[in-house]
Amino acid sequence: IPLVPPLWEQDLHLKDKKLFKPPVLVFVDCKLGADLLSEAVQKVTGLKCISIHSEKSQIERKNILKGLLEGDYEVVVSTGVLGRGLDLISVKLVVNFDMPSSMDEYVHQVGRVGRLGQRGTAITFINNNSKRLFWDITKRVKPTGTILPPQLLNSPYLHDQKRKEQQKGKQAQSNLVTGANLMDIIRKHDKSNSQK
């Protein structure tokens, strides 16, 4: 949903050390997307960029990971292969170019940045393909103080999901047995059984 600035503005951001801190890890949802985006980033920006995914050999992936950690690559575009279980301490910026299909995967991917007490930034692009996660994203991210775009906060999908969750909460509360409502529940049960 965030608007992408024109290319000339992006070039200014690449020179701004507060915004662009290589190496950058970019997540996409498919191998072809990783290859195409990596090629486009290198061509348009001139940054040293490479893709990594399951079709690359184990040796290639090991060398790419080594290059990421040693600063040989400014940008690495990855499928989920780098999404879990690695402490990528040198990575200061993670970009979810494609929103993961689950919140669990999202947490793992943004967790590649800011490891072991280090600070970092995560940027996630969302669109209507990920609309089923809008409420979960908002609940997870808003408490961190992250600024959410008005397009997300005003989305009818978000408001519908929030309303449904509130209704579930009310329903669950009405089914809760407490000392105050125990006698009412017994009476309702007895009444419904006596009518049968």
User: What is the per-residue pLDDT for 10?
Assistant: 46
Q: Which amino acid is at 66?
A: K
Residue 42 neighbours by CB under 8 Å, 6+ apart = 48, 49, 75
Q: Which of 75, 82, 38 is nearest to 61 (CA)?
A: 82
Model pLDDT, residue 6: 43
Whether residues 147 and 164 fall in one domain: no
Query: What pLDDT is stored for residue 172 in this prediction?
Result: 64
Q: Are residues 103 and 146 in the same domain?
A: yes
Q: Is residue 132 part of a domain?
A: yes
Judgement on whether residues 94 and 123 belong to the same structural domain of the protein: yes
Question: Is pTM beyond 0.85 here?
Answer: no
pLDDT at 190: 79
In a domain, 2, yes or no: no
106 and 83 both lie in a single domain: yes
Residue 16: inside a domain, yes or no? yes
Whether 128 maps to a domain, the answer reads yes
CA distances (Å), origin 32, targets 38, 39, 52, 125, 191: 10, 11, 10, 18, 63
pLDDT along the chain (196 residues), means of 10: 43 60 91 96 93 95 92 93 79 90 88 76 88 90 86 90 83 68 77 73
Contacts of 49 (CB under 8 A, 6+ apart): 38, 39, 41, 42, 73, 74, 75, 76, 77
What is the count of structural domains for the chain? 2
Same domain, 149 and 183: no
| Range(s) of the domain holding residue 60 | 7-154
- pLDDT given at position 187: 81
Does any domain span residue 35? yes
Q: What is the pLDDT of residue 57?
A: 95
Question: Are 100 and 170 contained in the same domain?
Answer: no
